[in-house]
Every structure is written in structure tokens, then in C-alpha cells.
Structure 1
Amino acid sequence: MERLAGKIILLWGWRRAGAAFIAGAVAALGQPPFDFFAACLIAFPVLVWLLDGAASPVGERLLRRMLRPFMIGWWFGFGYFLAGLWWTGNALLVEAELFAWALPFAVFGLPALLAVFYGVATLIARLLWSDGIARIAALAFAFGLVEWLRTFVLTGFPWNAIGQAAMPVPLLMQSVGVVGMAGMNALAVFVFAMPALLAARRGRRAGLAMALALVAAHVGYGAWRLSSAPETTEDLVNVRVVQPSIDQSEKWDNTVRDRIFATYLDLSARPPADGAPQPDMIVWPETSVPFILTERADALVALGELVQEGQVLLVGAVRVEGESQGSSGRYYNAVVAINAEGETYDAVDKVRLVPFGEYLPMSDLLGRLGMRQLVQSVSAFSPGGPRRAIETVNGVRALPFICYEIIFPGIAGNGDADADLILNVTNDAWFGDTPGPYQHFRQAQIRAVEAGRPLVRAANNGISGVVDAYGRIVDAFAIDAVGVLDVAVPRQKIAAIAAPHLVGLALLAIFGLWAATISLIAAREPIDSRYIRDS
């Protein structure tokens, strides 16, 4: 192991960049649908050794001293995000005649931009670098910090956070309810990077023992929490999730929109299986109605005939305001609640919009340059107001998150702490049968554990399903399946042990202080003359 580490430490130029890129791509195997978390135990030690070799000669200019570790992290991040997010380009092929030109910008541009975060992480880590376990703590602190920044900088895009690789199954998801995603990201990097100590002569036993203790605590807590989970047979809400798998190229085609709407009506009206109760709640995916619902009185009548007394229909639909006043109107991507009278008695709008997908940033400037939003719809969307729960049947409160809103950590306190369940409606048909829908579903699972609430998820072509408050899949549809899921969802509310995000940030502070303290001590120690060579 020492010989391998030495070879990696001595890499230079394009070989160093290539090793960092390959290590990042290998780390992406820890994400769905592969879930090969052991890949991170290979990738992060390589990253540690590359940073070991990023020491600067005496007298080197500050910019070059900073650029070297930054570029190691950037190449690592570029490999990681390219291997994990290449599927985003699939959305541009739905209307290839209009958007195929932008394919390289999506496939390579987004990973290149996100890689900057990991470049910053390795730069910060290198500034706190020392020897032994402390440099592993520095890397854990730096990655935990930038993963937290990824949740809000430039509107935020925390997709495929490193910590998710440590949570491939519900047994290993429970710790996120204690330390939050900030803590999971830092702890995951700390454990993933620890095998780098196998090439060290100091701190090897202590570091590996610490990593094994953390893994044992992670697994043990998950096993204890799942084994003590109560069997819920009362206070259930019967939910029907509709997955029609509508071809994305037909989504806004005026010639087939009535057929699409009829498909939803037919699926929703199917009788339940023998002995199963009628659903209390029917859920359609994001923008499932292919027209402005309030402009079609016949559609509202049809929905009123579909929804029976004591039922509610939750529909992903485009909502418009302002046209009655003669303006062009404001459009919202919304979840609309419809009762048995065909009335839209409540609606919650999407708050976090997808840049370039649902709106065009700096639209005046970019519009003059000929750019337009990439997602075909009735118009650019406006962000909604504060999130809140929708009251459905029997006092059940559903807190809606539309599309990628579900990937942002900390949703337990985002909208309504008294919500009985989390509702996620989405349309992942843009991405086909690629890793994208699997990654999206995994993040929704983790949010259920964070919030301590069951999750109901309706996706146009999958993955639709119901997840309990412990992240366990109650039932789900495969990609491109067509049908309805009838599931009895328990009204579980699991109280958090502590405020997870505060615990996670406290862990970051501990790792940072540890690394900074050891780094300062090392800087004050005199250099052993045995390590000084005459030039």
C-alpha cells in the first residue's frame, strides 16, 4: 500500500489530473442505481494521496499554491458529476430539433460548474493539511462544508451529495435523522478516506479503529431504530397513486391532450382490488393536466364525477393568475386539491424553480441572445409563496414538494411541522430509464427519514411509490410501468432526537477545529534537518 500511495503522490501534470478524474468517476458508483459504496473507499484514499503530493515548493507564489489543490478537487468533482449526472442531457433530446445544440453544455457544463465546489473543498482541506488522521478530518470538514453550500449557493443543487453513498438501504438511512445531511456528508468522507492511513506509519490503528467504531454505530443505530419501529395498523389513510407513463414528447401536444386527460381519468376510476377499500386520496404526478384546468369547465365536471364523496384528488397542474385583469398572467407549477364537487378548494405552488427549465435567468439579456427556457410548457413559471400543507380527508395534512424540491435537506421544518405526510409529485420522463429517476427517488426516501413522515410519491413514468417514515418502501412502480398503487399509509409522526442540521453543523465545527489545531501545531514545529536537501 505504501508503494501505491507513493506512486500516486508523485503524479504530476496530466497524470495527476487524470487520476483525480478517474477517482471522482469511481466515487459516483456509490450513488443509485449502482449503490456500490465500496467504490468510495477506493476513490477518497486516492484523493488524499493526490493532496499529499500537492505540497508547494518554498517561495512559490500564492496563486500557484492555491491552484494546485483546487485543480485536484476540480478534476475529482468533474469526474464525479460527469459520471453521475450525464443523464441530464437526455432532457434536451426530447425536442432534439430545438435543443440538441445545447447537449454539450448540459452534459459537460453542469459537471464543470459543480466541480468548482469540490475544488474549493480540496483547497480548504489543503490549507488545513497536516499529517495522519488530522488531514482526514480536514477533508471531512471541507467536503461537509461545500456540500452544505451546495444546498443554497446559486439557487442550490445538492444532487448526489457524498453522504448518500453511505445510505443505500433503510438500515443505513436512520442516522440522518440525528446528524442531518451536513453531518452525514462529513462523516461519510471521514470514513471513506480513512483507508489512506493504510499507507501511513503513524495513526493507522487509531484511525481505522475510529472508522470501524463509526460504521458500527451507524449500522447499530439503524438496526435498533428499525427493530423498535411500531407496527401501525390503525389511523391509516388509503392513497391511490397514478402512474400513466405519458410520453414526454406528447406532453403539451394540443392534438392529444384530451386523450392524456382521459388516460388519467380511466386509471383513477379503476375499482380497487378485491377487499381493498376505496381510496381516500388520489394523487396525480407533476403537471399531469395538459392544459389550464380552470379554462376547461368540462374537465372540472369530469373531475367532479371522478371524485367520490369523502375523497380528494391532488393534481399536479399549471395554475394561472391575472388573466382576468387583462394582463398576460402569472403561471405557477402547482399541486391543486379538488373535492367531490369538482371545486379546486386549495393549491400550493412550487417555490424552488429549475433554472433554464422552468424559467430563464436574466431573461431580458439572454432572450436577446436567442436563448429560451428548455422545458416546453405554457409559459415561464413564477415561484410560489411560503409552503404549507394541504388539508385533505379526515384532517390528514399533506405537505407538497414538486419535482426536485424534494432533494433539499431539512424539509421537516419547511412548511408545516404538523403535516401527516410528505407529498412529492414529479415528472422524470425527461430523463428516460437512466440513473436520474433512481437518484431522485433515493433522495425522496432520505427526506422521509429526515422528516419522520411517510412519503407519497407520484411520478409520470416512475419511480412512483409510498415510503414509510423509516425510509422503507411500502410499494412502488418500476420505471415506465402503467397503473395505480393502492396503499394504506400510516399517519406516522416520528419526533427527531435533536435538531439534525444543528448537530451536523456542530460536527463540521469539530472536524474543522481538530484539523486547524493540528495544522497550527505542525506549523510551529521545527523542521527535522534530515528532511532538508541541498539544492
Structure 2
Amino acid sequence: MIGRLSSRIILLSGWRRALAAFLAGALATLALPPYDFFAVCLISFPVLVCLIDGAVDSADGGWLRRALPAAIVGWWFGFGYFVAGLWWIGGALLIDAQNFAWALPLAILGLPAFLAFFYALAVLIARLLWSDGLGRIFALAFGFGIAEWLRSFVLTGFPWNAIGYAAMPVPLLMQSDAVVGLYAMNALAVLVFASPALLADRRHRRAGLSLALALVVAHVGFGFYRLHNAPTVAEEAAGNGVRVRIVQPSIAQTAKWDNASRRAIFDKHIALTETPPQPGEPKPAIVVWPETSIPYILTETPEALARIGEALSEGQVLLAGVVREEQGAGDAEPLYYNSIYTINDRGEITDAVDKVHLVPFGEYLPLEKWLRGLGLQEVVEMPGGFTRATSRRSLRVNNALAFLPLICYEAIFPSELAYSGPRAAAILNVTNDAWYGDTPGPYQHFRQAQLRAVEQGLPLIRAANNGLSAIVDPYGRITDGLSLNAVGVIDASLPSGVDPFWGTPPGPMQTWGILTLLLAISCGFAVFSGRRFD
């Protein structure tokens, strides 16, 4: 039966092949948050393998012509994956529909169409190394590993919903990420997900499925071993003695753009900050507000700073997402930064860090002069857009404590977390996902931040305007949190960090070690099968 089904998929052509690839890619998104049904990838990727098997052209053509039909299959697979996984991005354009509704097709279809070229490249690379049986599974894993790595930095990068996340839906399955890192996990996940395609291959079925099973057992077994030897969640929740309050006000994005609502927004943050702790619990030493939480330029609003100082108890500090203004030289326009301030109980700004990785078209306009000439503007409109920081450094909380600051989607870039300054005791991620409403977007964003804690061996403090806000321990376990769109505070102890598995977070050595091994095996199978590479 499996052989007959595989044959039918292989023989698909034209629009039927494109539709099957699109649906297989779309189905794979059910493995992502908030669904986390990773078993669907054991269907999607075998279908992709069969479609690539059937995507052949004349043997008389050059290597590119022979591989192009398979690359087209990869594009349709990617288009389905990114349309179904990223449709919610269009919600941000409807906040100011009068100015941006015209761009909705670009967000819902245009961005996925562009990202799908990475998966077309993945399949193109795989097809060039393609061989019968088990070799093609290694080739596909290598191709996707390269494509996902490129997606992390090409044109500033957008590694959202990398395939590896589908293999890490719960803390038990997150621990391998501390060993190999996300980019290697992408390739290994595809290797396992594609392995059921071997069910129709009598020659390689036993070896291939045994290898996949061994990887799954190692993945699960290592997670069990690491968590078994880790402190319990209750012990992590007891923390290291530092109490943190996360404020989640759930301010609607439309209200944030309403000047008449500024005072009410500020007062809501103050009221939540002043909420007494539960009976018997101490006041938190650190209060955290989300990204762009303060609706004023604080350096121009001393009364707001004074009110913050009044709201804080003696010794408390506030870490707040703000817009920071820096006056330009002479007649130059001011520069604006998406920033985090440390503010003490006297209403004084004691430290500030700025966002390093800005969102193109959201926080700044690439090719600004040319695109503004066409009438385009960034979604978060500031005069000239936001300015990026040139480097990342830790944020000083007090004389004894510093955090690694990640503003909004900076948390999706595992290779960009190197920083200078004092050693961080935690990751601080402030964000505002109210742009996207009650969609999969905030859940996907949270999962990616959660994995950064595992890789870095640091607890995560995540303050999101409308959620998901949480304290996460260095094993990816949530010690306390608030659901999406809830209004309230989290008072929790900060868990202690752990040493990364290798002493430092996984990086290029682990990525290229795995990819090189996959390439070598793919080439070995191809040569052994008599494959020519001309």
C-alpha cells in the first residue's frame, strides 16, 4: 500500500505536483506553536521526497536544468509552509489600515514567496546530491541545513519558524538544542522527518528507519537524562533570591497610537507596578515593563520619571522598554532608538541599551531614499525610522547584576547573542506582540525565545505587552507565566543559570560539524550509486 501511494505521488505532474507540494508544506506548520503536532512532519517530508523523486527533466540537459523541476517543488513546499505559518503578519498592517492595507498581499503572499526560495535552494542542493534510497534523505537534510543557515542572515535574516523548532515542542525535547544548536537541529530534524519515505524502499528501509529511531531515542533520552539531573521546577522557582515582577498590561495597539490614551497607558503600568505582592511574599527587587511601554520621551518628560521614582520602593529598579531620543548635531534631525532603560527609585536613568537588529520595513526602511521617493514608509513611523545600535552589551541592573537584553524579535537569532560588558545572569526579552492579536504569532515568538534560554544556559525574563510573559529556567521550563491577553503581574524568583553544555553556547563548530558529516555521507551514497556530478 505504501509503495502504491508513493508511486502515485511520484507520478504527479504539473499543477497537481505543485498543489501536493504546497499542501505538504502547509501541513507541516501544524508542528509549530500553538499546535505542536510534530507528527505531521513525518507525512509532509516523505511526500516532499516522493515529489522530488518524480521531478525529473531530460537527462540531456545540464545539471541546472535537471535539478530545476525539483527546485520548483521545493519552492511550492516552502510557499505553503510560510503562507500557513506566517499569515498573521498581515495583522500588523491592519492596525493602520488606511495607510497599509494595500500592502496586505505583500505580507501574506509576497514574504512567503520570497522565503520559499530558500526551500527551493534546499531542494536544489539536495537534488544535485540525489541518489537512490537512504542517500537522498541525507541529501535533503544537508540541503535544508544550508538553506536554514542562509535564512538566518541573508538580507538581515529572518529565521522565524525554522524547521528545527518542530522537533522541540516541550522541554524534554529541547535539551539537544544545548548540544548542537538550532542550525544543526534543522538538518537533523529533516533527516528524521523524511525517513518514513524509506518505507517503500526494501533495500534501505531497515537501515534508514533504524538510524532515525536511534536519533529519536538519543534526542528523548538525552532530554530525560538532563532534566532528571537538573533541579526540579519547584527548586528553580525558588531561584537565587532575586525577585522579579513582570508587568503585562495588554494595551491594544490602536490605543498605543492614540495620543489621548498616553496618560491612561502610563497610569496602567504604574498601577500594576504598585500592586502589593501576595501576602507573605517580599516586594520584587526588579520590575520589568514591555517593549515601548512608556508613551513619552522620558528625557523630555521629567514628571514621568519622577512618577516612576515614586512608584518604586526603596532599592527597586525598573527595566522599561522605551523610545530613546538622541539629539543630532547642529540642525540634524534627532535619532530614535528602540531601547531599554534601567531606572532607579529616585527616577534616575542609570543605564540604557539599544536594539541592534531592527525589523526591516517595520522599524526602518531599507534603501530609504529610493523607497521614500516611491511613497513608502516603515510601519512604526518615526522621523527617519529607528536607528540601530552598533553592538550588543549587557544591561546593568544594579552594581551586582546584569542582563542580556533582547528587544522583540532579536530573540529569534541564536547566532547574534554575543555581547560585551558584565556577565549576564539572565536573558531579558521585552516585546510587544499586540500587533498580531490572538494568532499563532505570539506563541511562535515565545517558543523561539524559550530555546535561547536553553542554548545560553540562562534563565529568561520575558515581558510582553499582551503576552506571552513568563519566567523560563535554563532548561526551557516555565516557572511562572501569564496567558495571552491577560492583564496582571508575575512575581517570581529568578532561576539560577547553568554552564552551557560546551562551556559556551553551541555555534559554528557544531553546525558545520553536522552539515559536513551529512554532505560526506550524501556524496558517498551518490558516488557509490554511480551518480555523475557534471
Matched with 1:42 is 43
Q: Distance in 2 between matches of 1:101 and 1:141?
A: 38
Secondary structure (helix, strand or coil) at the match of 2:324 reads strand
Q: Deviations over 1:484-517 (max 9, x none)?
A: 1101112323332365222222011100111012
Residue correspondence of structure 1 range 358-507 to structure 2 within 5 A:
358-377=363-382, 380-393=385-398, 395-410=400-415, 413-415=418-420, 418-497=423-502, 500-501=506-507, 502-507=509-514
Alpha-carbon distance, 1:359 to partner = 0.5
Alpha-carbon distance, 1:416 to partner = 5.8
Conserved in 2, the CA contact under 8 Å of 1:237 and 1:491?
no
Secondary structure (helix, strand or coil) at the match of 2:242 reads strand
Matched with 1:528 is none
> Could you tell me which of 507, 515, 525 is aligned with 1:518?
525
Q: Distance in 2 between matches of 1:524 and 1:257?
A: 67
Q: Deviations over 1:333-353 (max 9, x none)?
A: 001110111111110100000
Q: Distance in 1 between matches of 2:418 and 2:160?
A: 20
Conserved in 2, the CA contact under 8 Å of 1:241 and 1:282?
yes
Q: Distance in 1 between matches of 2:418 and 2:365?
A: 29
Conserved in 1, the CA contact under 8 Å of 2:239 and 2:493?
no
Conserved in 2, the CA contact under 8 Å of 1:410 and 1:451?
no
Q: Distance in 1 between matches of 2:498 and 2:423?
A: 8
Q: Distance in 1 between matches of 2:349 and 2:399?
A: 18
Question: Does residue 107 of structure 2 align to residue 100 of structure 1?
Answer: no
Matched with 1:269 is 274
Matched with 1:30 is 31
Matched with 2:187 is 186
Q: Distance in 1 between matches of 2:500 and 2:27?
A: 37
Question: Does residue 260 of structure 2 align to residue 259 of structure 1?
Answer: no
Alpha-carbon distance, 1:252 to partner = 2.8
Alpha-carbon distance, 1:304 to partner = 1.2
Alpha-carbon distance, 1:522 to partner = 2.1
Question: Does residue 289 of structure 2 align to residue 284 of structure 1?
Answer: yes
Alpha-carbon distance, 1:144 to partner = 0.8
Alpha-carbon distance, 1:418 to partner = 2.3
Alpha-carbon distance, 1:376 to partner = 4.0
Compute the TM-score of the two structures, normalised by the length of structure 1. Answer: 0.95
Matched with 1:58 is 59
Q: Distance in 2 between matches of 1:72 and 1:356?
A: 29
Aligned-residue RMSD, C-alpha: 1.5
Q: 1:379 to 1:313 in 2, by over 3 A?
A: farther
Secondary structure (helix, strand or coil) at the match of 1:392 reads strand
Conserved in 1, the CA contact under 8 Å of 2:21 and 2:73?
yes
Matched with 2:347 is 342
Alpha-carbon distance, 1:63 to partner = 4.5
Q: 1:210 to 1:524 in 2, by over 3 A?
A: closer
Conserved in 2, the CA contact under 8 Å of 1:456 and 1:465?
yes
Secondary structure (helix, strand or coil) at the match of 1:279 reads coil
Alpha-carbon distance, 1:395 to partner = 1.1
Give the AA of the match of 1:14.
W
Matched with 1:245 is 250
Alpha-carbon distance, 1:412 to partner = 5.5
Compute the TM-score of the two structures, normalised by the length of structure 2. Answer: 0.96
Matched with 2:334 is 329
Q: Distance in 1 between matches of 2:36 and 2:384?
A: 38
Q: 1:302 to 1:325 in 2, by over 3 A?
A: farther
Conserved in 2, the CA contact under 8 Å of 1:252 and 1:290?
no
> Could you tell me which of 345, 351, 357 is aligned with 1:352?
357
Matched with 2:17 is 16
Q: Distance in 1 between matches of 2:421 and 2:5?
A: 52
Conserved in 2, the CA contact under 8 Å of 1:245 and 1:460?
yes
Give the AA of the match of 1:392.
V
Give the AA of the match of 1:25.
A
Secondary structure (helix, strand or coil) at the match of 1:145 reads helix
Conserved in 2, the CA contact under 8 Å of 1:285 and 1:426?
yes
Is 472-481 or 61-70 further displaced after alignment? 61-70
Q: Distance in 2 between matches of 1:262 and 1:345?
A: 22
Q: Distance in 2 between matches of 1:107 and 1:399?
A: 33
Is 466-475 or 301-310 further displaced after alignment? 301-310
Q: Distance in 2 between matches of 1:524 and 1:244?
A: 61
Alpha-carbon distance, 1:377 to partner = 4.7
Q: Deviations over 1:357-382 (max 9, x none)?
A: 00011111111111111124565100
Identity %: 57
Q: Distance in 2 between matches of 1:411 and 1:306?
A: 35
Give the AA of the match of 2:129.
L
Conserved in 2, the CA contact under 8 Å of 1:280 and 1:393?
no
Give the AA of the match of 2:338.
N
Alpha-carbon distance, 1:77 to partner = 0.1
Secondary structure (helix, strand or coil) at the match of 1:387 reads coil
Conserved in 1, the CA contact under 8 Å of 2:240 and 2:493?
no
Q: Deviations over 1:512-534 (max 9, x none)?
A: 11101221232369xxxxxxxxx
Q: Deviations over 1:35-87 (max 9, x none)?
A: 01000000000000111112332213554323211100000000000000000
Residue correspondence of structure 1 range 219-230 to structure 2 within 5 A:
219-230=220-231
Secondary structure (helix, strand or coil) at the match of 1:425 reads strand
> Could you tell me which of 236, 240, 243 is aligned with 2:241?
236
Alpha-carbon distance, 1:103 to partner = 0.4
Q: Distance in 1 between matches of 2:255 and 2:531?
A: 67
Q: 1:478 to 1:383 in 2, by over 3 A?
A: same
Conserved in 2, the CA contact under 8 Å of 1:310 and 1:393?
no
Q: Distance in 1 between matches of 2:457 and 2:57?
A: 48
Matched with 1:160 is 161
Q: Distance in 1 between matches of 2:161 and 2:261?
A: 36
Q: 1:63 to 1:191 in 2, by over 3 A?
A: closer
Conserved in 2, the CA contact under 8 Å of 1:30 and 1:37?
yes
> Would you say how many aligned residue pairs link Structure 1 and Structure 2?
525
Q: Distance in 2 between matches of 1:155 and 1:411?
A: 11
Q: 1:492 to 1:481 in 2, by over 3 A?
A: same
Matched with 2:119 is 118
Where structure 1 has 5 or more consecutive residues not aligned to the other structure, the ranges are: 526-535
Alpha-carbon distance, 1:131 to partner = 1.3
Give the AA of the match of 2:511.
G
Secondary structure (helix, strand or coil) at the match of 1:70 reads helix
Q: Distance in 1 between matches of 2:223 and 2:417?
A: 19
Q: Distance in 1 between matches of 2:531 and 2:265?
A: 71
Q: 1:364 to 1:347 in 2, by over 3 A?
A: same
Conserved in 2, the CA contact under 8 Å of 1:283 and 1:458?
yes
Secondary structure (helix, strand or coil) at the match of 2:338 reads strand
Is 515-524 or 289-298 further displaced after alignment? 515-524
> Could you tell me which of 505, 509, 513 is aligned with 2:516?
509
Give the AA of the match of 1:446.
L
Is 430-439 or 197-206 further displaced after alignment? 197-206
Give the AA of the match of 1:355.
P
Q: 1:234 to 1:5 in 2, by over 3 A?
A: closer
Secondary structure (helix, strand or coil) at the match of 2:356 reads coil
Q: Distance in 1 between matches of 2:390 and 2:155?
A: 20
Conserved in 2, the CA contact under 8 Å of 1:281 and 1:393?
no
Conserved in 2, the CA contact under 8 Å of 1:134 and 1:518?
yes
